[in-house]
Amino acid sequence: MGDGTSSTSQKHAQAPVGFLELFYDLIFVASIMVLSNEFSHDPTWSAARNCGLMFVILWLLWFHTTVLMNVERRDDLGQRGLIFAQMFLIFMATLVFVQRDSTADLVGAVYLLAVLLVAYSHHRLVNQPDPVGGWARSRRNRLITAGAVMLIGIVIPDGPDSLLYAAAILLLVVPTSLTSQEGRPVPAIDAHHLAERAALLTLVVMGESFVKSALVMSTGSIGVYDVIALVVLFVILFGLFSAYFDDVPKAGIRPGALSGEMWLLAHLLLQFAIVVLAVGVSKFLLVGDSPVPTKAVVILMVAYVGIFLGLALISAFDQRVPRWSTFGVHFAAAGIALVGGVATLVFHPVTPGMYLITLAVLSIGDAVLSWRVREDTVVLSVTEQHV
């Protein structure tokens, strides 16, 4: 992923996202729902850590597959087989994870197979002319290295294996451009395709919020307070929808080997936080006369800080000028969400319900203010970026 154009990029420029990629996203619908339900049924900080980590490592498979498809969008029988096999392993890893008697090594073994499948998908491109061939070899080798580290973690005793798993995840998350040799040519990104892929998965994650609330509400009687909480949820999601889709798909991606991958990686924080938001809002439903648990406030605070920091990081790698305009709006919103959450936890007159309504107002305020700021910006073309 880098500057300039290539024959591959030109061939696929402005091409729509294929049905194979859309089908691939469906497995994340199931996995995200299973993980959010797992945390809802066991709302401990240990479960939050484990479910969050599981979301991250599954998302990294989506990241590497999406980057690969951005360079070469194959849809032959071999590619379909690899995608279907990866989807099966993602589903199995999720199901194994939620089993109470499962071990980290068993989850790691299934995940290792998925990583090796992604590595082989890159291997299928190594014989292409550079820059695609060299780029694919570099990424394939890093995926295999991550797999080798995971394999060692699986076979050694528990304890030190955690460090090896952490090292493997680090290998998967560090942008390729940070580990590539200086001067090595890399394929140009298809910004239109990358933006569409990120937007589609964001839609999927936002849709999970509706599904999560519907499942919770289906287990009991709906009261007035529940209706109010649902109205607030819809307002929150409307604000987030406007803040993202009125800006991100239109703002472009800054040229450069690092910018494209960092722009996409910023979506990890945003999409993870949206899932956390769905879990947090669900804690306000069907509580009856019982007080909303303090943990719900913490979950919402973490979710909102993550959402707005994710939006800020995405805007840091877009093509709007002046730079940092929308970044400042989203960063300020994250700060307000943090201060409001702390105030709710410390000062008893500030109730969780008041905080939830404040977050709804904050969502709309962020969307409106970022829209106003965007009116004074322009989106540079790739040609203008190099002038």
Q: How confident is the model at residue 183 (pLDDT cuts 50, 70, 90)?
A: very low
> What is the predicted pLDDT for the residue at 218?
78
Cα separation, 373 vs 170, whole angstroms: 36
pTM metric for this prediction:
0.87
pLDDT tens sequence across 132-162:
888 888 889 999 999 999 999 888 877 777 8
- pLDDT at 268 > cutoff 90: yes
Predicted local distance difference test score (pLDDT) of residue 273: 94
Name the region of 288 (left: φ>0; alpha: ψ -120 to 50; beta: rest).
left
The C-alpha atoms of residue 36 and residue 105 are separated, in whole angstroms, by 22
DSSP 345-366: HH-TTS-HHHHHHHHHHHHHHH
User: Is the per-residue pLDDT at 178 higher than 70?
Assistant: no
- Structure token pair of residue 114: 């998925």
Give the dihedral sign, CA 183/184/185/187.
Answer: negative
Q: If 0-12 CB within 10 Å is exposed, 13-18 middle and 19+ buried, where does residue 199 land?
A: middle
pLDDT, tens only, 25-59? 999 989 998 998 888 777 788 888 889 999 999 99
Residue 345 neighbours by CB under 8 Å, 6+ apart:
294, 297, 298
**Who wins on pLDDT, 101 or 20?**
20
Round to whole Å and give the CA distance between 310 and 331.
9
Q: What per-residue confidence (pLDDT) applies to 60? A: 94
Does residue 384 surpass a pLDDT of 90?
no
Select from 165, 179, 21, 39 the least CA-distant residue to 107: 165
Distance from the first to the final alpha carbon of the chain: 20
CA distance 352 to 292: 7
pLDDT given for residue 227 in this prediction: 85
Per-residue confidence (pLDDT) for residue 177, from 0 to 100: 58
Report the range of poorest mean pLDDT among 315-319, 347-351, 369-373. Answer: 347-351
How many angstroms separate the CA atoms of 117 and 113, rounded? Answer: 6
Report pLDDT for 9. 40
Structure tokens at 184: 């090595």
Question: Mean per-residue pLDDT for 262-290?
Answer: 85
* Confidence tier at 307 by pLDDT (50, 70, 90): very high
Nearest of 281, 300, 68, 23 to residue 189 by alpha carbon: 68
| Bridge partners of residue 44, in order along the sequence | none
Q: Is residue 208 scored above 90 in pLDDT?
A: no
Beta carbons within 10 angstroms of residue 374's beta carbon: 19
Ranking 2-11, 203-212, 364-373 by mean pLDDT, the lowest is 2-11
**Contact (CB, 8 A) for 210 and 32:** no
Greater confidence (192 vs 255) lies with 192
Bridge partners of 122, per DSSP, are: none
pLDDT-based confidence at residue 1 (cuts at 50, 70, 90): very low
Q: How far apart are CA 370 and CA 318, in angstroms?
A: 14
